[in-house]
Amino acid sequence: MIERVFYQNYDLDSLSFKYGKLFDRIQADGPLKGTGGASTSLYSVSASYPAFGPILVGDYIYIYTAENTIAKRRVATKPSNDEITVDSNVTVPLAGLASWYFASFRIGTADTDGWHSTNPLTRAFVNLDFPTITAAGGVDVSIEVKSLGALLPKPIGAPFNFPAGTPVKESVEVTEMIGSVRVGLKGGSGFAGTDDLSVTLTGVPKW
């Protein structure tokens, strides 16, 4: 089974459709350190070797805090290439850690944003996992596919709407297996709370 990620614990922030994509994990090129206790702040071990050069706000980092233990956090702020803050506390040693990874998250409204390829799959599904929807007008979901060589995407049905306060766990089959698919999310109204929206593409590989 192959899995690709569009959104991971995403918090709605727009009344128009945005299309997100989480890229594959990349091993980081420099060690980091914490404060020695629970903290949202992380630092380069050496200021002359900035660990966070390629990191942007909204990206995800995966830190080996102990043997076989990985802490997953989202980057909240980036004061410099030597310092970031993350969305919740993490405890790491003051000494540099040998291994940590990051995954870039990019989101936008352009026709080129958010696409994952369906080429290596024989059958695929877009999986919606929304344990928490707080946006007052709920969340709208648009799923689009584009075949190889096509200039314009086509939707899979009409946009779905899921109301606030109702957990969602659904799968929608992809109808175009030689091309790509993307998922747009937008809020109906109001963003006072924190939504928790995850969307993945899963499928059976051809080989």
Residue type, 145: V
How far apart (Å, rounded) are the C-alpha atoms in residues 145 and 152?
9
| pLDDT value for 186 | 95
Low-confidence ranges of the chain (pLDDT < 70): 67, 95-98
| pLDDT value for 36 | 78
| pLDDT value for 10 | 93
| pLDDT value for 189 | 84
Q: What is the pTM of this model?
A: 0.84
* Both structure tokens of 54: 């390629």
| pLDDT value for 49 | 77
Give the tens place of pLDDT for each residue, 99-114.
Answer: 789 999 999 999 999 9
| pLDDT value for 187 | 94
Q: From the CA atom positions of the chain, what is the Rg in Å?
A: 19
Domains of the chain, first to last:
2-22+108-205 (2.60.120.40), 26-103 (2.40.30)
| pLDDT value for 96 | 67
